[in-house]
């Protein structure tokens, strides 16, 4: 089964204005501070507890919070107008997602890519899409037995193609969930398209968009 998403006039792409960019950076900074504060509180409670089981439980909470904070940092918008290596960007992001959400469930995340220079904002949008679709696959495609999610990034002439595939149970057709609406808005900002392919062997999302060198 295949379902395609094109651009949608009902969902505007993220505003490119300097004010919106500044507000986003300030919001991100505050979230980072909140993560740091929460981690500090849990760490202090673990250090003060005389009970070893409580210490171990709080240490596990601290590790999980640090993993989530790492994912958030990996998804920060890079500096505008730069060229960055999409492979390195996705490698850092996928490592953080794996440690925070997948390893504990026995889900293996595989990244297959080669060095690809991209506009920093396009790379950020790509990372947001990958994060959302990997998280969606982990949430819906697997039971208790784990499985594998594979992310592939390649250049095809003047286009970038990214595939996110899982070997779990076939997902239901696209529904207007909030996460997929965000994905749609991000794709619109890339002037791209995405296609869902589902079968008994799992689900694959195929994203393609023009390679910008600006």
pLDDT tens per residue across span 29-81: 777 788 788 888 888 999 899 999 998 999 888 888 888 888 877 777 777 77
Task: State the average pLDDT over residues 16-29.
Answer: 65
CA–CA gap between residue 169 and residue 146 (Å, rounded) = 11
Listing DSSP states for the chain in one string gives: -EEEE---TTSPPPP--HHHHHHHHHHHHHHHHHHHHHHHHHHHHHHH---HHHHHHHHHHHHHHHHHHHHHHHTSPPPTT-EEEHHHHHHHHHHHHIIIIIGGGTEEEEEEE---EEEHHHHHHHHHHHHHHHHHHHHHT--TT-EEEEEEEEEETTEEEEEEEE-SSPPPPP---HHHHHHHHHHHHTT-EEEEEEETTEEEEEEEEE----
Quote the pLDDT of residue 177: 62
Q: pLDDT band for position 19 (50/70/90)?
A: low
- On whether both 101 and 193 belong to a single domain, the answer is yes
List the CATH number of the domain containing 134: 3.30.565.10
Does residue 207 register a pLDDT over 90?
yes
Q: pLDDT band for position 8 (50/70/90)?
A: very low
- On whether both 145 and 201 belong to a single domain, the answer is yes
- On whether both 96 and 199 belong to a single domain, the answer is yes
- Judge contact between 152 and 118, C-beta under 8 A: no
Q: pLDDT band for position 190 (50/70/90)?
A: very high
Does residue 165 register a pLDDT over 50?
yes
- On whether both 9 and 37 belong to a single domain, the answer is no
Task: Give the count of alpha carbons within 13 A of 15, CB side only.
Answer: 8
Task: State the average pLDDT over residues 16-31.
Answer: 67
Residue 164, domain member (yes or no):
yes
- On whether both 199 and 114 belong to a single domain, the answer is yes
Residue 160, domain member (yes or no):
yes
- On whether both 66 and 103 belong to a single domain, the answer is no
Residue 173, domain member (yes or no):
yes
Residue 78, domain member (yes or no):
no
Residue 109, domain member (yes or no):
yes
Q: How many domains does the chain have?
A: 2
Quote the pLDDT of residue 1: 52
What pTM value is reported for the model?
Answer: 0.74
Domain that holds residue 171: 2-14+83-210
Quote the pLDDT of residue 18: 61
- On whether both 103 and 188 belong to a single domain, the answer is yes
Residue 115, domain member (yes or no):
yes
Task: State the average pLDDT over residues 85-107.
Answer: 90
- On whether both 87 and 175 belong to a single domain, the answer is yes
- On whether both 192 and 164 belong to a single domain, the answer is yes
Residue 116, domain member (yes or no):
yes
Residue 57, domain member (yes or no):
yes
Does residue 172 register a pLDDT over 60?
no
- On whether both 96 and 145 belong to a single domain, the answer is yes
* Percent of the chain whose pLDDT exceeds 90: 37
- On whether both 103 and 203 belong to a single domain, the answer is yes
- Judge contact between 109 and 137, C-beta under 8 A: no
- On whether both 162 and 58 belong to a single domain, the answer is no
């Amino acid at each position: 089964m295949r379902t395609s998403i094109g651009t949608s006039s009902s969902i505007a792409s993220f505003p490119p204005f300097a004010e919106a960019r500044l507000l986003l950076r300030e919001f991100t900074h505050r979230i980072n501070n909140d993560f740091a504060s929460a981690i500090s509180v849990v760490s202090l409670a673990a250090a003060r507890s005389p009970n070893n089981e409580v210490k171990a439980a709080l240490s596990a909470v601290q590790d999980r919070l640090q993993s989530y904070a790492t994912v958030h940092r990996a998804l920060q918008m890079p500096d505008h107008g730069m060229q960055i290596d999409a492979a390195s960007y996705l490698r850092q992001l996928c490592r953080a997602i794996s440690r925070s959400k997948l390893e504990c469930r026995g889900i293996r995340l595989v990244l297959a890519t080669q060095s690809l220079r991209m506009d920093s904002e396009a790379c950020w949008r790509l990372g947001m899409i990958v994060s959302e679709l990997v998280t969606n696959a982990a949430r819906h495609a697997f039971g208790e037995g784990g499985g594998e999610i594979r992310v592939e990034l390649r250049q095809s002439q003047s286009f970038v193609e990214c595939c996110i595939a899982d070997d779990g149970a076939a997902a239901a057709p696209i529904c207007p969930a909030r996460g997929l609406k965000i994905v749609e808005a991000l794709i619109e900002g890339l002037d791209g398209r995405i296609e869902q392919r589902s079968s008994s062997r799992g689900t694959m999302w195929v994203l393609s968009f023009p390679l910008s060198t600006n």
